[in-house]
Amino acid sequence: MDYTPREIIAAFRAGLLERVLRSNTVWLCASCYYCTVRCPSGIKLTDIMYELKRLGVEFGLVQEGAIAPALSKTFVDMVDRYGRVPEIPLMMAVLLKTDPLRIFKMIPHGLKLFLRGRMPFLPHRISGISELEKCSGAMTEALVSGLHPGSGAGEEA
């Protein structure tokens, strides 16, 4: 960890955004939520880490050579394409992009699992994928047009 979460927040407050986003701290967070439930000040640190990850991707400021952002992006692409995440294609795609040599190291295990039917390679596309696209599109449109989608009368769910 380059900076402890406390230092991340201090740096953020000091306006040192690049230092925050380029640190490995943010992408090391594995969302175990210990900090969130323990924080004596009630700060939802895990959520903050997610926010910082998103900021980093948005601004193109992430730790040099980090795999995690690539993984997340690929994950999002696959979910948007299939509606679900096929684990193996995901891992392959990520490693192809970042560390192709490791694929070979994984072959012995993979073969065993494959033979037992535990490694399906073919992604399954949900039938509601167009439904999701519609929702997603409507949301983006509403956000882009800057109109608050709920400002009309009687929309409260």
Partner 1 sequence: MGSHLEFSYYPGCSLEGMNKAYDKSARAVSKSLGIDLTELNDWNCCGASAYMSIQELRAHLLSARNLALAEKEKKDLAVVCPACLTTLTKSNRYMGEDPKLRRTIASALRAANLQYLGTVKVRHLLEVIVRDIGEQEVKARVSRPLSDLKVAPYYGCQFTRPFGDFDDKESPVMLDTLLKWLGAEPVNFPLKAKCCGGMLMTTNEPIGLGLVRSLLDCAVQNGAECVATICPLCHITLEAYQGNVNKKFATSYKLPTFYFTQLMGVAFGFSRKELGINEELISSKRILPEQVEAA
Partner 2 sequence: MAEKIGVYVCHCGTNIAQTVDCKSVVDYVSALPNVTVARDYQYMCSDPGQDLIKKDIKELGLTRVVVASCSPLMHEPTFRRAVEEAGLNQFLFQMANIREQCSWISENKEKATERAKSIVAAAVKRVEFQESLDVKKVPVNPNVLIVGGGITGIEAALQIADSGKKVYLVEKEPTIGGYMARFDKTFPTLDCAACILTPKMVSVGQHPNIELLSYSDVTGFSGYVGNFTARVRKRPKYVEDEKCSGCGLCTEKCPVSVPSEFECGLGKRKAIYRPFPQAVPNVPVIDTEHCLYFTKGVCKVCQKFCPRGAIDFDQKEVYIDLQVGAAILATGFDLFDASRVKQYGYGKLPNVITSLEFERLSHASGPTGGKILLKNGQMPTSLAILHCIGSRDTNFNEYCSRVCCMYSMKIAHLAHEKTGARVYEFYIDLRAFGKGYEEFYKRVLEEETIFIRGKAAEVTDVPQTPAERGKLVVVAEDTLLGIVRRIPVDMVVLSVGFEPRKDAVEIARIFSISRSQDGFFLERHPKLAPVSTASDGIFIAGSCQGPKDIPDSVAQGAAAAANALSLIDRKEVTLEPTIAVIDEESCSGCKICIGLCAYNAITFDEAKKVSKVNDALCKGCGVCVAACPSAAIEQRNFTDDQLLAEVESVCVSGK
Give the interface with partner 1 as residue ranges (CB under 8 A).
27-28, 30-34, 36-37, 44, 46, 50-51, 53-54, 57, 66-69, 71-73, 75-76, 79, 83-88, 91, 94-95, 109, 112-113, 115-120, 124, 126-129, 131-132, 134-139, 142-143, 148-150, 155-157
Residue from the set 13, 32, 38, 115 that interacts with partner 2 by CB under 8 A: 38
**Between residues 34 and 59, which has the closer beta carbon with respect to partner 2?**
34
Residue 3 interacting with partner 2 (CB under 8 A): yes
Residue 130 interacting with partner 2 (CB under 8 A): no
**Between residues 41 and 145, which has the closer beta carbon with respect to partner 2?**
41
Residue window 39-68: x/- pattern of binding to partner 2, with contact defined by CB under 8 A: xxxx--------------------------
Structure tokens of 44? 């939802």
Instruction: Answer with the entry of partner 1, partner 2, none that 40 interacts with (C-beta below 5 to 8 A by kind).
Output: partner 2
CB of 83 to partner 1, least distance (A): 4
Structure tokens of 5? 């979460």
Burial of 26 per CB tally in 10 Å (0-12, 13-18, 19+): buried
SS (H, E, C) the chain: CCCCHHHHHHHHHCCCHHHHHHCCHHHHCCCCCHHHHHCCCCCCHHHHHHHHHHHHHHHCCCCCCCCHHHHHHHHHHHHHHHCCCCHHHHHHHHHHHHCCHHHHHHHHHHHHHHHCCCCCCCCCCCCCHHHHHHHHHHHHHHHHCCCCCCCCCCCCC
Residue from the set 4, 130, 136, 140 that interacts with partner 2 by CB under 8 A: 4
